[in-house]
Amino acid sequence: MSWWDELANNRVIQQMLPEATYETVAMVAVSSLLTALVGLPLGVLLHATAPGGLAPQRVVSSVVGVVVNFGRSVPFLILMIAVIPFTRWVVGTSLGWEAAVVPLTLGAIPFYARLVETALREVSPGKVEAARVMGSTRTKIIGGVLVREALPAIVAGLTVTVIALVGYSAMAGVIGGGGLGALAISYGYQRFDPSVMIACVAVITVLVVAVQVIGDLTARRLDHR
């Protein structure tokens, strides 16, 4: 039997891989969406309140900065376990892909917020000044100039974040988060079935490549420089 037949005829793969793939895609999709929804405004806040920003606020800037740095410092495995009570409170359980969304989102928000902040910092201050001279308000400058001009970099940052989430989602499998990670660990690793392991890694690779390609194409279409 060739290795391919072994993969194709593996009953665990046949029965569980589709479901596990769905779970991984679902938890990455939902946590990516939530991360973008919270991380983007947070990144804008970091940029705007920083010294020399549109609305410098020393206190807000340092508090948010510290929180974000702390969030980024906690190893994901620890974060996942530490927030279990919070996860239970939000989702009602700490098991399954729905529950995994909570730590994934909490872990990715500070990461993405920093990437957004960096993207905004790359927008030339001259453009902001030009908008101000033209009588634009700060709110309008944030949406119409800062975020819009930085959009290719913001999308590129989201691509990096989503790919990181794919990796973290596999880790979430360790504590019962479901998905490809759980399948790879419980069948591939603990039951010594290399085929399952290979299949899981292959699907994850395809997911990562797909995200990267879509992200690159989107960023390129948005980039008129």
Binding stretches for other proteins (CB under 8 A) = 124, 126-127, 129-137, 140, 144-145, 148-149, 151, 222, 224-225
CB of 223 to other proteins, least distance (A): 8
Query: Is 12 exposed, middle or buried (CB count within 10 Å of its CB: 0-12, 13-18, 19+)?
Result: middle
Query: What is the separation, in whole angstroms, between the first and last Cα of the chain?
Result: 54
CB of 129 to other proteins, least distance (A): 7
Supply 86's token pair: 């919070």
CB of 193 to other proteins, least distance (A): 50
C-beta separation of 100 from 81 below 8 A? no
Supply 202's token pair: 């292959």
CB of 33 to other proteins, least distance (A): 23
Q: Which is nearer to other proteins, 23 or 149 (CB)?
A: 149
Give the CA radius of gyration of the chain.
21
Secondary structure element (H or E) that encloses residue 51, with its range: none
As a whole number of angstroms, the distance between CA 135 and CA 130 comes to 9
Q: Which is nearer to other proteins, 75 or 126 (CB)?
A: 126
C-beta separation of 32 from 187 below 8 A? no
Q: Which is nearer to other proteins, 51 or 135 (CB)?
A: 135
Q: Which is nearer to other proteins, 108 or 131 (CB)?
A: 131
Helices (H), the chain: 3-9, 11-49, 58-73, 76-82, 84-91, 97-121, 125-133, 138-141, 148-172, 179-183, 194-222
CB of 148 to other proteins, least distance (A): 5
Q: Which is nearer to other proteins, 144 or 194 (CB)?
A: 144
Q: Which is nearer to other proteins, 143 or 167 (CB)?
A: 143
CB of 224 to other proteins, least distance (A): 4
For tokens 């593996």, the residue is: 10
